[in-house]
Amino acid sequence: MVQIINGREIARDIREKIRERVEQMPIKPKLAVILVGDDEASHLYVGLKQRACEEAGIGFELFLYPADASEPEIVSKIQELNARTEVTGILVQLPLPSQNADRVVLAIDPKKDVDGFHPANLENLKNDHPTLVSATALGIMKLITATNEELRGKQAVLVSGERFAEPLEILLAEQGVASEVVSPDDPHLKEKTQQGDILIVAVGRPHLINGEMIKNKAIVLDVGTNKIAERTIGDVDQESAAEAASWITPVPGGVGPMTVAMLLVNITKAWDLQK
């Protein structure tokens, strides 16, 4: 019988602890978000982040740009926010419509990069230095450890891009878990996903993974978010996956709430790093 990893419940506890911590801070942290374009999902995610910040007592500023905004204009705003001492964290909502995400993220002060994507933060993570780590990666690790399964010696398979996978590979290795990153277009996808004691899928393709592609008793983390006829579903066919997996995250209610909760954790950590 598959067990559900309840991301909403775990996230609720984390958010309450952050709210209590922010209440004790002499100067409240503030998040600045840059949102480019009209993508419906991006606007939804930013709204969730704003609500979470407001509930925790964290300041929030939103900067909206049209889809065709120039890269120099966005970078100029980031540099202005870097210099503002009351701004604790800077987040550029990805994906960007056409601008180069790597160059835009590179402009963020690493100590304010609450998404944890700056190369300097990845380097710090590799070298075990205090740093800001991808909120999604941190959230996934919290969900995995919530199963109370013995992780050392397990094999993880990550069906995703390299940017998403890199911090996760490092965090998994710290727990003694070996990782393999697999393209969703790999001709041997099924054979490779069947090797994963832990299967993490973050592609954005509904029902990419079904029960036949999952190792018996695997822990499955479904990071995908897809809108189908007003319903939100993940990348994993939850019904057939339930026949094989021992644990699975639902969509919605799994990785999404945890990403928002760990973003709040990162904002308070950025405050510590700066103060």
Among 115, 197, 222, 235, the active-site one is 115
Check whether the bond before 119 is cis (ω within 30° of 0).
Answer: no
**Cis status, amide bond into 97, omega within 30 of 0:** no
C-alpha closest to that of 226 among 240, 206, 202, 246: 206
Q: Looking at 30, 77, 93, 222, which residue is catalytic?
A: 93
Looking from the CA of 223 toward its CB, the CA atoms found within 13 Å total 23
> Is 186 tagged catalytic?
no
115 is catalytic: yes
Active-site entry in 49, 154, 192, 269: 49
Rounded CA gap, 140 and 126, in Å?
18
For the question of residue 49 being annotated catalytic, the response is: yes
Name the residues annotated as catalytic: 49, 93, 115
